[in-house]
Amino acid sequence: MTDLFSPAPMDNILPYDGQVHDLGLVIDYPSPLFYNLVTELPWQADVVTLCGKTHTTTRQIVWMGDEGIDYRYAGHVRQTIPWTNTILSIKQHVEQQLSDIGIEASFNSCLLNYYPSGDDGMGYHADDEPELGAQPLIASLSLGATRKFVFKHKKTQDKVALNLESGQLIVMRGDTQTFWKHSIPKTKKVTEGRISLTFRRILTL
């Protein structure tokens, strides 16, 4: 497993079969923003169905975006709620950060995940649902506790790991979701909460 430290924004942190860029810390005051989102958003426990079994997670979610942009994953449909002024402002800031390094993006949705502590995580998965298209562009902003984020190649099982700090932005694009899975491992070392905001574009027919 490779640990990575402060690459340049346009450096590809994956060794092959995809593109992931670390834009570093892009939020000036992430702590107040984190606590505002924890208290203000209508968080709900996520429900996933895997191998015929339905589970309710302690991890909580909000699915937000343009009107009518619903999202199906893990056997369930998430119905969108309208953008709040805060999340819409963050979306525009993230799009500008990407534009500054030559990546043009226009996101129409955001999946927010709240991990109350290190006891909450997410197993290996790829954001490869048909609604995202063949080569989705996904920008992920972290707020709150620093957590490890791990990529694992689907065939070779090679791993790449980085620690995501509060206010840090990464972007996944190209063939990343085709060839790599990613996860947030559980850990007893972290007692504070973390929020991830994953901006994406759902394709509508």
Residues 86, 36 contacting (CB under 8 angstroms): yes
Residue 201 is assigned to a ligand binding site: no
Measured in residues, the chain has a length of: 205
**How many CB atoms are closer than 10 A to CB 157?**
7
Strands 44-50 and 122-125: unpaired
Residue 194 is assigned to a ligand binding site: yes
Residue 127 is assigned to a ligand binding site: no
Residue 128 is assigned to a ligand binding site: yes
Residue 73 is assigned to a ligand binding site: yes
CA distance 187 to 8: 28
Sign of the CA dihedral 57, 134, 160, 157?
positive
Residue 72 is assigned to a ligand binding site: yes
Most distant CA pair in the chain, distance? 45
Annotated binding site for substrate: 71-73, 128
Binding-site residue set:
71-73, 113, 115, 125, 128, 182, 194, 198, 200
Q: Which residues are annotated as a binding site for 2-oxoglutarate?
A: 113, 115, 125, 182, 194, 198, 200
